[in-house]
Amino acid sequence: MKFLPSQLLILLQNKAAQRNFFALARFFFFLLILITAYSFLFHIIMLYEGRQFTWITGFYWTLTVMSTLGFGDITFHTDLGLIFTMFVLLSGVIFFLIMLPFTFIQYFYAPWLEAQAKVKTPRTIPEDVSGHVIITNLDAVTKKLIKRLNDRHVYHVLIVDDLATAERYRDWGYNVVVGVTDNPKTYLNVRVAQAAMVVVTEDDLMNTNIAFTIREITKDTPIVTNADNEHSIDILEFPGNMHVFQFMKMLGYSMGQRTVGIHNATNIIGRLDNLQIAEIPATLTNICGRMLRETGIREKCGVNVVGIWQKGKYVFPAAATRIEDKSVLLLAGTEEQLQQFDRIFSPPEITGEQSAPVLILGGGRVGHAAAEVLDLAGIEYSIIEKRPTIAKGLHHVIQGDAADINVLKEGGIDKAGTVLITTHHDPMNIYLTFYCRQLRPDIQIVSRAAAPRTVNKLHVAGADLVMSYATMAANSIMNLLYPDEANMVLEGLILFQVPVPQELVKSTLLESNIREQTGCSVIAIRQEGGDLIVGPDPVEPLSKDCELIMIGAEGAEDTFHQFYN
C-alpha cells in the first residue's frame, strides 16, 4: 500500500495512461447506456405480458442475464420475451465476458502493472553513494565483473533502458536503474561524477556515444571500454581519461603465450610489488615424475610451489605430490628467485627442444593475435579457417573445416606440439578439443571459452589450459579498480589480500590450518610498514597489523571470509 500514491501519480502523469482511462470510461459509459436500454425494454415487454416491476428489478434482471448468472426468479412467458432474453444473454456474453476483461486489462491493469514496475525499479541511486561502478550493458564480461564486485562488496549499478528487461534483471538479483544510456540525465541520476568507474562494453559506435555523453557531465570519472576495431582506439580515447582494451586481441596474446616453447621457461601471470606469480608446464622442467619433496625447489631457489593445475583442477601441492607430464606448476617468488628456478630446473637443453609447430584452429581476431605472438617468437604455425573471406587475409592458412581429419592432417596435427582452439563457438571448441585429444593424447591443447560455464566442459574434453574471455576481461577491469592490489589474469584462480583475522593474531601459519579450512594458501605477508615478505616463515607468529597475500581457486575468497566472519 505504501507504493499506491506513487503508482497513481505515475498513471496520472502519463499521457498514454490518461488516453487509456478515457477509452475505458467511454466503454463503461456505453455499457451503462446499454444496461439502461435493456432495463427499459424489460418494463415494456413485462407490461405487454400484463405484469409490472420496479426499475430496480429491471436493472437486477438485466445484470443477471447479461452476466449469465440467470437465477430464473424472473422470466418472460411470451415468445417475444424469450427472444429478448436470448438477445440480452448473447450481448452480455460479448460485452461482459469477452470485451470487458480485455478492455480492462489493456486500458487499466497493464498500465497499473507498468506503474508498479516503475516504482519498484528505480531511476536514481541515493545521493550519498560514491566510489561505485556504473555498468551500461549486461554481457558475459559484465556478468563476471558483477560477480567480482559482489565478492568485494563494491556498490554497482546496471543501466537498462527497457523497463521489462530491467524488471527481469532485478528479479535475477542485479542492481538496476532504468535509463537511456546516451542521455546525460541518466548519468546525473546515477551520480556519475561520484563514481569510481564507468564500464561500457557495447559496440564501438555506441561506446563512443556513451563516452561523449558522460564527458558532458564529468571529465574525471574513468571510463573503461572495449574496442572491436583497431582504428576505433584513437576515437574512443579522445574524450580523455579512457581505458580502451582490445579484449579479443588480449585473449589471443594470452593463448599464444601459453604455447610450449614460447618462453624460455616460466610465464609471469601475476605480480604484486616484488612478488611474482608464474606458471610453467612440467614438461619444461627436469622434475617430471618426481615427488615435490624430492625436488628441493624451496631450498635451492626460494620459490614456493603454491599450486598445481591437473587437467583444469587446481590442487594444493603436498610434499608427496607427484609431478606429472601434464601438470602445470604455479610458482610464487621474486624475480631473482624465479630466474634461479629457470637456471636450475628449466635449463636451455630442456626448453630449447620444445619449439614444435603450432596448429591454430580459427583465424578470427583471437587466432590472428595468437599468430602474431608465434611470429615474434619465431615458432612455426598453421591456421585452419573455414570462412573464405577471413582465410584470404591470413598467412600460413589452410582453408577448410577443422572437424575434417584430412584438413587437420594437412595442418600438421601429427607433428604439432600445441593446438590453440580459438573459435567463438563454445560447442565447436568442446568438439574440437575432444577430437584433437583423441587424435593426439600427448599434444598440448589450449582452448578458448566464450562463456565461463564452458570452462569445466573443455577441461573434461581434454584441454590442458582454458582461457575465458569473460574472466580475462573482468580481471583486467578489476585490476584498474584496485591498482595497488594483486594484478592477476588466470582462469579459475584468484589472488587477494586481507587483514589478519582476529582469531589468527599471534598464531603461526602452521597452527592456523588456513589451507585445509578455506582452500587458500598464504604466499606472502605485507608488514605494517608496507614491506612484503615472500614465502613467509610458517612458524612466525602473525601480527594484527599485517595483511595476508593469498591464492586459491575461484570462490576461495568467499570461503575465507565466511570462515573468519
Pairing of strands 547-553, 520-526: antiparallel
Question: Residue range 112-132: average pLDDT?
Answer: 76
For residue 315, pLDDT beyond 70: yes
Question: Residue range 69-91: average pLDDT?
Answer: 89
**What is the distance between the alpha carbons of residues 220 and 243, in angstroms, rounded to a whole number?**
13
For residue 93, pLDDT beyond 70: yes
**What is the distance between the alpha carbons of residues 428 and 403, in angstroms, rounded to a whole number?**
9
**Higher pLDDT among residues 263 and 54, named by residue:** 54
Whether 387 is in a domain gets the answer yes
**What is the distance between the alpha carbons of residues 100 and 181, in angstroms, rounded to a whole number?**
39
Are residues 138 and 223 both part of a single domain?
A: yes
Q: According to the model, what pLDDT value does residue 223 have?
A: 96
Choose the final residue of a domain: 67, 91, 120. 120
Highest mean pLDDT among 143-152, 283-292, 424-433, 440-449: 424-433
Q: According to the model, what pLDDT value does residue 1 have?
A: 46
Percent of all residues in the chain with a pLDDT value above 70, rounded to a whole number: 90
CATH of the domain at 552: 3.30.70.1450
Give the pLDDT band (50/70/90) at residue 517: confident
Which amino acid is it at 301? Answer: C
For residue 283, pLDDT beyond 80: no
Give the pLDDT band (50/70/90) at residue 220: very high
Choose the final residue of a domain: 120, 149, 164. 120
Total tally of structural domains belonging to the chain: 5
Are residues 376 and 343 both part of a single domain?
A: no
**What is the distance between the alpha carbons of residues 131 and 192, in angstroms, rounded to a whole number?**
10
Whether 125 is in a domain gets the answer no
Are residues 115 and 216 both part of a single domain?
A: no
Question: Residue range 201-207: average pLDDT?
Answer: 94
The answer to which of 147-161, 261-275, 381-395 has the lowest mean pLDDT is 261-275
Burial letters 6-38, b for 16+ CB under 10 A, else e: ebeebbeebeebeebbeebeebeeebeebbeeb
Are residues 347 and 436 both part of a single domain?
A: no
Q: According to the model, what pLDDT value does residue 2 have?
A: 47
Are residues 26 and 87 both part of a single domain?
A: yes
Question: Residue range 246-262: average pLDDT?
Answer: 84
Q: According to the model, what pLDDT value does residue 413 have?
A: 92
Question: Residue range 290-315: average pLDDT?
Answer: 82
**Higher pLDDT among residues 29 and 261, named by residue:** 29
Q: According to the model, what pLDDT value does residue 265 have?
A: 61
Q: According to the model, what pLDDT value does residue 86 have?
A: 92
Whether 9 is in a domain gets the answer yes
Residue for grid cell 581505458: 243
Are residues 238 and 157 both part of a single domain?
A: yes
Q: According to the model, what pLDDT value does residue 388 have?
A: 86
Q: Are 140 and 189 contacting, i.e. CB atoms less than 8 angstroms apart? A: no
Choose the final residue of a domain: 336, 351, 366. 351
Range of the domain at 325: 262-351
**What is the distance between the alpha carbons of residues 449 and 539, in angstroms, rounded to a whole number?**
42
Whether 438 is in a domain gets the answer yes
Give the pLDDT band (50/70/90) at residue 277: confident
Are residues 419 and 497 both part of a single domain?
A: no
CATH of the domain at 53: 1.10.287.70
Are residues 499 and 423 both part of a single domain?
A: no
Give the pLDDT band (50/70/90) at residue 492: low
CATH of the domain at 380: 3.40.50.720
Whether 196 is in a domain gets the answer yes
For residue 489, pLDDT beyond 60: no
CA distances from 125 to 142, 177, 191, 215, 387 (A): 20, 8, 7, 20, 47
Are residues 417 and 441 both part of a single domain?
A: yes
Give the start-end residues of each E strand in 137-211: 156-160, 176-178, 197-200
Q: Under 8 Å CB-to-CB from 90, ≥6 apart: which residues?
A: none
Question: Residue range 210-232: average pLDDT?
Answer: 93
For residue 10, pLDDT beyond 70: no
Q: According to the model, what pLDDT value does residue 279 have?
A: 82
Q: According to the model, what pLDDT value does residue 353 have?
A: 47
Are residues 280 and 234 both part of a single domain?
A: no
Q: According to the model, what pLDDT value does residue 216 have?
A: 93
Are residues 306 and 375 both part of a single domain?
A: no
For residue 402, pLDDT beyond 60: yes
Question: Residue range 417-428: average pLDDT?
Answer: 92
Whether 128 is in a domain gets the answer no
Give the pLDDT band (50/70/90) at residue 542: confident
For residue 490, pLDDT beyond 70: no
Alpha helices in 404-506 (DSSP H): 405-411, 426-439, 455-461, 469-481
DSSP label at residue 192 = G
Whether 484 is in a domain gets the answer no
Are residues 206 and 301 both part of a single domain?
A: no
Q: Under 8 Å CB-to-CB from 83, ≥6 apart: which residues?
A: none
Q: At what angle do helices 15-48 and 4-13 cross, to 10 degrees?
A: 90
Give the pLDDT band (50/70/90) at residue 491: low
Q: According to the model, what pLDDT value does residue 116 have?
A: 62
Tell me the pLDDT of the chain averaged across its residues.
Answer: 84
Whether 217 is in a domain gets the answer yes
Question: Residue range 2-15: average pLDDT?
Answer: 56
